[in-house]
Structure 1
Amino acid sequence: MMIPSRHSNFVVSRRKFGIVFLSTFLLLVLCCFYTDDLFQVNKQQRTGGVFLRRPRTAGEFLRRQFGEPHSVVNEELVYSVGGVIVRCSDKVLEESNLKLGSRVLERLARGWRGLLVPSKPNEIVTAPLSRATQNLKVRRDIRTLSKEEKKELRDAFLKLKNEGNPLTGVTYDTFNRLHDADDMMLYGHMAPSFLPWHRYFVYLMEVQLQNLTGNPNLTIPYWDFIEDSGLTSVFRPDFLGGNGIGNSSTPAAKVAEAHGVADINSPVLDGPFAYHKGQWNCSEGPLVPFLRRDFGYTEFSPSLPDKSQLRQCMNLKIYDVFPFDSHSDKNISFRACVEGWASAYGEPDFLHNRVHAYIGGNMREIRSSSTDPVFYLVHANVDRIFASWQRINGIDQYEPKYRIDRGYMALDEYLRLLSPPRTIRQLLNYEDLGYTYDRFIDLE
């Protein structure tokens, strides 16, 4: 009788190990391809006991949010929510290349790296340290800028619009196209990523202006719309121009009227951004090429938001809550409170949305709002509100932590449309982007 040698036992054990290893590897590979079907929390969402298929188009998303559209213009769905106009197409959005299986493997890899490089005993993991000593660029209240500083910013906007950045090929209208994209509807608005998305959007514009002017310290100032009406600081003939005046009988206005767009009046006629001055064509966003404003146009936003609205948002302790969209309770969710969607037709808009609706014209519509340069001053202040809240509650309060549905971006998912790509986590600490504010919100 032959007695198995140690060597033969070793060969058998190694063969068994190889079979187990290969089986495990194949199982993980199958996860990469099929986990989307096995664990599809992002294809269905439980709402009030009913499972809803995730929206595949921006139009379907808005139908879920607000019901049927008020009208259809040029094959686009048009909604009027409070004083804000929302338009989008029904085309199918591009599917994400990042499958859930890939995310599982990524998390496993992060865990294995942690095992290979263990943390030191009693080591405390903290947020990045303050960079107060590292010469952070300071965004300032627009009321503190000198006449020369305002002129530098104004001229930089005009130059980026008409000449573009020769080093990057980026123009002002590049940003308009980003903010106008259908895919943005699921990431930039009515979602937890609203605040970090716009933080990065304003930051990228700021970088372009710095590169174009050669001034690395140029920053986009914030307009404190709670304390300042803007009439003496922003809406001036020597800066961004004033309110729209009267009616327009231009050919473009007649074309717009023929397409059913009612808000074609109130063109801005003073300042360098007036259409007839030949430096600012807004055709990238709305149907008409001229910049429009109409302060207090709608009954839903007859005035700018007041300190009581700001106080309500700042006193909240939770970043966001289910269903993580325009229906999130703004009495609980900080993000929903700041973004400010009306929860029912006829209800006034809140904070951020109220500012857009109050200015009216181009700012009243999501898809044309960034064609008005005041957009960036408004969102610098929205970011200041966000940063002030983070200083009180911590920078790591973002919800949801993990993927729930399309558009509800988790901490380690990359923002689309913007380059270089950044995850939500990488955008939560504004100091990591190299800037701070001259003044934060103090409600006491």
Structure 2
Amino acid sequence: MPSVLRLQSWLQVFVLYVFVFAPSFLPPVHAVPAPAANASTERRCAKVLRRQEWRTLDTYQKKDYIKAVQCMQRLPPVTSFRTVNSHFDDFQALHINLTDRVHLVGHFLPWHRRFLSVYESALRKECGYKGANPYWDWTKDSKNLTTMLRSPVFSPTTGFGSAHLAGPVSDGPFASLPLAFGPGQAPNKHLLTRALNATLLQYLTKEQVLNTTRQPTFERFRVELEGAPVTPTIKIHDAGHRLIGGDMGDTYSSPGDPLFFLHHANLDRIWWEWQMADPAKRLHEVSGRASVTPPYGKVTLETMLEMGSLAERVPTQVPGHGLAAGIHHSTSKAFQDWDVKVPNIRGDPRLHWLPTGALPVTCTACTSSPSSPSPLPAPRSRPSATRQSLPSLLTARSPFALPASTPHPAMEAYFDNKGNILNARIRVARDHSAIYTLKTSFGGLRGRKVTVLQDENPGPPLSPGKPACVGCIWWREKAVEVLGQRKAVREVRRTEGWFKKTHYWRWSEDRKEYELRHEHEGWKATLDQGLSIAARFRVPFRPHLFHKTITPEVHLTKPALEEDEVFLILAMIYEEIKRQDRTNSSSVNGGLGW
């Protein structure tokens, strides 16, 4: 009995130490110094929207952007150019009118930065677009012709239509798009055309981009970026245009292809990365001739950037704010020891490029704050050791439910039959509306051919004879396809642990890696070395004579058809079917489920 009392006493001392004394010895997390009392105030960006690479947007974000572009193509023109039919045509006509004044000159990059900002502003103000203009990093697709043709930007369902080898674009949201100009400067009614040229892929590699950003001066940088005919060889600017060909390949009328704005957003991102290598100098550095005809003159920081009637003229450098082209820039470094004040230019949202991950953002609101270094992001609370600290993906109705204090809305979806997980409709629990359809085709003795995950109202097929899908599992080829891009399973899946029971799935190096484990009633996908639950796929064991078969369920973080979510659904279905094949648990129905 005394030993029990001593044990209780020691336990009381330990609890007192943990909850009273121990916290005082813990180091502060992301402690932020208070601003100086005499710090002056200046305008800071209070709300930003990130510019993202096209493939990182989810399906809804991609469709929102495409709808905004289509809205621009329906709006009446605001310029006086003849034969212009829409506000979208205004931008093509302005570019044609100014091509000889803004190409092969020192203000090529500042002018296109401004041009892109005005276009982005029109999408947001005139068409209600909530995001920022995305960019297309073509280095991710330039490995060979096959990878380029499968680039997400060329998806007919969630992209800009196929990259035709020659001829009018015949699928996707811009199929049979009428254009008023081009090729060249003359008015010419025709359909949007493309003519993919695979020989240009060699100029759109990561090595070419690195060679561009290594240039020590603005003059050498802008010449290396713009390319022919400034240089005797092709560079990344003209290579991006000529690769797609057709209207995009024409120097004058290229803005007729909506991909123009993603290509130039990527070039502007590369310029910003170069500027951020030495911001104190390069934000104020510009050089080169001001005209392609004599007298050539020289570009200065006071050179005006013309936008016709689309926007007001602004100088290449806003006085006191660096080479911003009427746009404010901020970097991750600015949050610590460097900043550029926000220029107050009427009617133009401020553009920010964050070099961390090379993601640009747009400032939509500004606020006054001390001019001393901005504080670091708000500290994260110290995670609790209890299960409540894990992000819950499930509601209280779910058999897998975690506590209701989840920071994100849950999405429960149920298969509409009780066994066949490869041929089903998946319904959202809150209103039982079908959002996905699963269909599997077979080919004789060789078994399964392809499982297709698609919208209830799918768009045109990806190619003749191929199912229209947002995701596919190609069983014979041992490959998975997400939003038009196919990869071998061995590229996106690896196994570890005893008997290789732990499976890791990652779509690409810049995406999240999911750890999939099989549990008693299905599969669990986690992130951060198993700490954060990303999804659950409930597939019960073999039905028993005295037990009711339970409907399969899938639980995801968001009700969005995002690339990660499509990939995760396919990964869990793939793992479950392979498990059934190994255990012969579904032999009675050909390996299709229960």
TM-score normalised per structure 2: 0.42
**Partner SS for 1:289:** strand
Give the Å deviation of 1:408: 4.2
What is the CA–CA distance in structure 2 between the aligned matches of 1:283 and 1:170, rounded to whole Å? 9
2:151 is aligned to 232
Residues 293 and 359, structure 1, Cα contact 8 Å, conserved in 2 = yes
1:314 is aligned to 213
1:334 is aligned to 221
1:124 is aligned to none
**Partner SS for 1:134:** strand
User: Which protein has the bigger strand share?
Assistant: 2
**Partner SS for 2:352:** strand
Give the Å deviation of 1:162: 1.7
Give the Å deviation of 1:413: 2.1
Q: How large is the RMSD of aligned CA atoms in angstroms?
A: 3.1
Match status 1:209 vs 2:136: no
Residues 75 and 87, structure 2, Cα contact 8 Å, conserved in 1 = yes
**Partner SS for 2:190:** coil
Q: Which has the higher contact order (CA 8 A, sep 6+)?
A: 1
Residues 240 and 273, structure 1, Cα contact 8 Å, conserved in 2 = yes
Deviations 1:112-164 (A, max 9, x none): xxxxxxxxxxxxxxxx9894x52233111111111111111111111111224
In structure 2, the CA distance between the partners of 1:316 and 1:371, relative to structure 1 (3 Å rule), is: same
In structure 2, the CA distance between the partners of 1:438 and 1:409, relative to structure 1 (3 Å rule), is: closer
Deviations 1:39-81 (A, max 9, x none): xxxxxxxxxxxxxxxxxxxxxxxxxxxxxxxxxxxxxxxxxxx
What is the CA–CA distance in structure 2 between the aligned matches of 1:304 and 1:337, rounded to whole Å? 12
Residues 226 and 304, structure 1, Cα contact 8 Å, conserved in 2 = no
2:182 is aligned to 285
Which of 149, 171, 185 is equivalent to 2:100? Answer: 185
Moved over 6 A (4+): 165-170, 401-404
AA matched with 1:312 = N
In structure 2, the CA distance between the partners of 1:157 and 1:193, relative to structure 1 (3 Å rule), is: same
Match status 1:270 vs 2:171: yes
Give the Å deviation of 1:406: 4.5
Give the Å deviation of 1:380: 0.5
Which of 112, 137, 161 is equivalent to 1:241? Answer: 161
Percentage of pairs with the same residue: 27
Deviations 1:1-51 (A, max 9, x none): xxxxxxxxxxxxxxxxxxxxxxxxxxxxxxxxxxxxxxxxxxxxxxxxxxx
What is the CA–CA distance in structure 1 between the aligned matches of 2:251 and 2:47, rounded to whole Å? 35
What is the CA–CA distance in structure 2 between the aligned matches of 1:316 and 1:376, rounded to whole Å? 25
2:363 is aligned to none
**Partner SS for 1:184:** helix
AA matched with 1:310 = V
What is the CA–CA distance in structure 1 between the aligned matches of 2:230 and 2:237, rounded to whole Å? 14
Residues 243 and 266, structure 1, Cα contact 8 Å, conserved in 2 = no
2:88 is aligned to 172
In structure 2, the CA distance between the partners of 1:270 and 1:199, relative to structure 1 (3 Å rule), is: same
AA matched with 2:162 = G
What is the CA–CA distance in structure 1 between the aligned matches of 2:79 and 2:233, rounded to whole Å? 44
1:223 is aligned to 136
Deviations 1:219-278 (A, max 9, x none): 110101122356332111022101125xxxxxxxxxxxxxxxxxxx42111112111xxx
2:50 is aligned to 138
Give the Å deviation of 1:212: 2.1
**Partner SS for 1:185:** helix
**Partner SS for 2:50:** strand
**Partner SS for 1:226:** helix
Give the Å deviation of 1:366: 0.9
Give the Å deviation of 1:417: 3.2
2:74 is aligned to 162
Deviations 1:151-189 (A, max 9, x none): 1111111111122489999700010111101x4312x21
2:195 is aligned to 294
Match status 1:357 vs 2:252: no
In structure 2, the CA distance between the partners of 1:311 and 1:423, relative to structure 1 (3 Å rule), is: same
In structure 2, the CA distance between the partners of 1:268 and 1:401, relative to structure 1 (3 Å rule), is: closer
In structure 2, the CA distance between the partners of 1:366 and 1:430, relative to structure 1 (3 Å rule), is: farther
1:427-442 to structure 2, matched below 5 A, reads: 427-428=324-325, 430-431=328-329, 432=342, 434-437=350-353, 440=356
User: Which protein has the bigger helix share?
Assistant: 1
1:28-427 to structure 2, matched below 5 A, reads: 131=44, 133-164=45-76, 171-181=87-97, 183-186=98-101, 188-215=102-129, 217-229=130-142, 231-238=150-157, 239-244=159-164, 265-275=166-176, 280-286=177-183, 287=188, 289-296=190-197, 299=199, 301-303=200-202, 305-320=204-219, 333-342=220-229, 348-394=233-279, 395-399=283-287, 405-406=295-296, 408-418=298-308, 419-426=311-318, 427=324
Give the Å deviation of 1:436: 2.5
What is the CA–CA distance in structure 2 between the aligned matches of 1:387 and 1:405, rounded to whole Å? 30
Residues 99 and 251, structure 2, Cα contact 8 Å, conserved in 1 = no
TM-score normalised per structure 1: 0.55
In structure 2, the CA distance between the partners of 1:400 and 1:223, relative to structure 1 (3 Å rule), is: same
What is the CA–CA distance in structure 2 between the aligned matches of 1:352 and 1:129, rounded to whole Å? 36
In structure 2, the CA distance between the partners of 1:402 and 1:164, relative to structure 1 (3 Å rule), is: closer
AA matched with 1:399 = S
Residues 72 and 127, structure 2, Cα contact 8 Å, conserved in 1 = no
In structure 2, the CA distance between the partners of 1:240 and 1:214, relative to structure 1 (3 Å rule), is: same
**Partner SS for 2:306:** coil
Residues 268 and 274, structure 1, Cα contact 8 Å, conserved in 2 = yes
**Partner SS for 1:398:** coil
Q: Which runs of 5+ in 1 are unaligned?
A: 1-127, 246-264, 321-332
What is the CA–CA distance in structure 2 between the aligned matches of 1:399 and 1:385, rounded to whole Å? 18
Residues 117 and 351, structure 2, Cα contact 8 Å, conserved in 1 = no
Give the Å deviation of 1:193: 0.5
In structure 2, the CA distance between the partners of 1:440 and 1:288, relative to structure 1 (3 Å rule), is: farther
AA matched with 1:203 = S
Q: How many residues align?
A: 272
Q: Which runs of 5+ in 2 are unaligned?
A: 1-40, 143-147, 319-323, 330-341, 343-348, 359-594
**Partner SS for 2:138:** coil
Give the Å deviation of 1:206: 0.3
Give the Å deviation of 1:294: 1.5
